Structure 1
Amino acid sequence: MSKKLILIIDDDNRNIFALKAVLKAKGFECLSALSAQEGFSIMEENKNVTIVLMDMMMPDMDGYQAMAAMKKSEKMRDIPVLAVTAQAMVGDREQCLIAGAAGYVSKPINVDELLTQIEKLTK
């Protein structure tokens, strides 16, 4: 089976760096974008993205807006989005799922939970 290609969209380079380090150590290939718009460009150019890890709190376009835009795009609508958020308030998980996320992990990220979600969503 080919390696799963994960796109990380997060406006904080430190989060991208940490996620990439963990995921590469587990054998995943990663691409990253510092904004939703940049992430869309990557998905348009790269047909092999199997899942998107989406930071929900970004300037310009947040994760909710980005997921709504993805759902409208023929090329992006079938790519599962795993919402990644520091907002672990009651109802946040449900909001993310209602907005179109296929899964949800809160920061600080539990690596085992992250890997379980990725496996489940990329079968």
Structure 2
Amino acid sequence: MATRPPNFEIPADMREVAEKSVEQAKKAFDSFMGAAFKAAGALEESSDTLQAGTKDISRKALTYAEQNVAAALDFASKVVKAGDPQQVLHLQSEFIRSQLQAFGEQAKDIGSSAGKLATDVAKPRGK
């Protein structure tokens, strides 16, 4: 014959404390999940910003590379057509001066874009 365990009753005070603890745990978990979803959303926004910014910088770099190659080919064409060494030296001097100026402007533009991107990615997101 199987014996029945004695009736075990949880005191009302203990039951109330346990119920409150469970409620507090649920609230804490909900709060944690809310914060986790918010953080994931902010990370996604930062990732989108970073991706768009790097695409912009990449496009600029390719455009500048294309311009620089075109300038070098133009220079080479002029050198081939030069009549004397003096003209070659003049063309070379002109090419170097114009390319240094172009490189400076290009570096400044890409640096400015990179700085803006870093600021945008680090910017706290709205609530």
Asked if Structure 1 and Structure 2 have the same fold, meaning a TM-score greater than 0.5 normalized by the shorter chain, the answer is: no
Instruction: Give the TM bin, normalised by the shorter chain.
Output: under 0.3
Greater helix percent: which structure?
2
Normalized against structure 1, the TM-score is what? 0.20
Normalized against structure 2, the TM-score is what? 0.20
Kindly name which structure, 1 or 2, has the bigger radius of gyration based on alpha carbons.
2
Relative contact order (C-alpha < 8 Å, sep 6+): which is higher? 2
